[in-house]
């Protein structure tokens, strides 16, 4: 039984399908010594190499992990940075035979919810515009915002890369020069939330993503910490994009041993109680 190369690479955790297509187009992949093409299909007997090194691919359905991460401001969402800035992958547990795929990047000055998964098909589905997965943000605006601005942002405005709007805006209070709003949109274009407010002459002083689809940022998960989604949470996330869940359980033992920084308040309290 054959399968498309970019699809099985994604399922094995090398990246999203779109990213695998870009690798193929860049000539980074060979099939039995010949340069791969996007439409190529492979079988178990085929030898696949990436950047000159043979890779092992599992054709069977795999079990995957999904992490929720509370990104601090000041971290970048890329593995390679010429300026040497800290990236969001630095705090994640190490993997063998696969790699973490980021879902829904945030810019360096934005904090909050990020997903990481080893399932490239899930990552592709969550990020694809056709899925219309909504994202919710808490935004702090410097200065007064009148009703016309809010109407414009919900009705929609033209940005340099096309029409954009918020699906909803809720006033959540504030004091002094700063005021907080909760906004929801179904796109993930670069700096879209900031650019929408800036199109109305408003200044965003803080921005945090609080929800992605059906999953909200966990209360008590401090900045720079992560946790695995459990079986039920993962099933809800897969269901949101019409897929069957590939997560069976939360690997607590492996998570706790390799990343003590990720422990939540309850775990820290239990640990403290043993010392008394």
Would you state the structure tokens that stand for residue 64, as one six-digit string? 């995957």
Rounded Cα–Cα distance for residues 109 and 91 (Å): 18
Instruction: Please say whether the beta carbons of 234 and 248 come within 8 A.
Output: no
The residues near 224 (Cβ < 8 Å, ≥ 6 apart) are: 70, 71, 72, 75, 91, 261
Rounded Cα–Cα distance for residues 10 and 263 (Å): 29
Which of 107, 161, 230, 256 is the catalytic position?
107
Rounded Cα–Cα distance for residues 235 and 241 (Å): 10
User: Running DSSP on this structure, what letter comes out for residue 31?
Assistant: E
Catalytic residue list contains 107: yes
As annotated, the active-site residues are: 107
């Amino acid at each position: 039984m054959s399968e498309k190369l970019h699809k099985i690479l994604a399922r094995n955790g090398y990246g999203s399908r779109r990213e695998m297509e870009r690798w193929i187009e860049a000539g980074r992949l060979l099939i039995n010594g010949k340069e791969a093409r996007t439409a190529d299909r492979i079988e178990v007997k085929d030898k696949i190499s990436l950047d000159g090194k043979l890779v092992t691919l599992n054709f069977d359905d795999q079990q995957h992990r999904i992490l929720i991460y509370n990104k601090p401001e000041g971290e970048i969402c890329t593995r390679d940075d010429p300026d040497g800035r800290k990236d969001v992958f630095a705090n994640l547990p190490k993997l063998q035979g696969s790699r973490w795929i980021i879902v829904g990047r945030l810019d360096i000055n934005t904090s909050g919810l990020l997903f990481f998964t080893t399932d490239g098909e899930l990552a592709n589905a969550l990020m694809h515009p056709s899925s219309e997965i909504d994202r919710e943000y808490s935004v702090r605006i410097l200065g007064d915002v009148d009703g016309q601005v809010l109407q414009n942002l919900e009705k929609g405005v033209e940005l340099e890369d096309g029409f954009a709007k918020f699906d909803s805006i809720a006033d959540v209070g504030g004091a002094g020069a700063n005021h907080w709003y909760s906004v929801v949109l179904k796109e993930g274009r670069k700096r879209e939330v900031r650019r929408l407010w800036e199109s109305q002459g408003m200044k965003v002083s803080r921005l945090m993503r609080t929800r992605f689809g059906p999953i909200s940022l966990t209360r008590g998960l401090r900045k720079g910490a992560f946790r695995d989604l459990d079986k039920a949470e993962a099933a809800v996330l897969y269901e949101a994009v019409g897929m069957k869940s590939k997560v069976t359980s939360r690997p607590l033992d492996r998570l706790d041993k390799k990343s003590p920084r990720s422990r939540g308040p309850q775990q820290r309290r239990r640990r403290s109680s043993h010392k008394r």
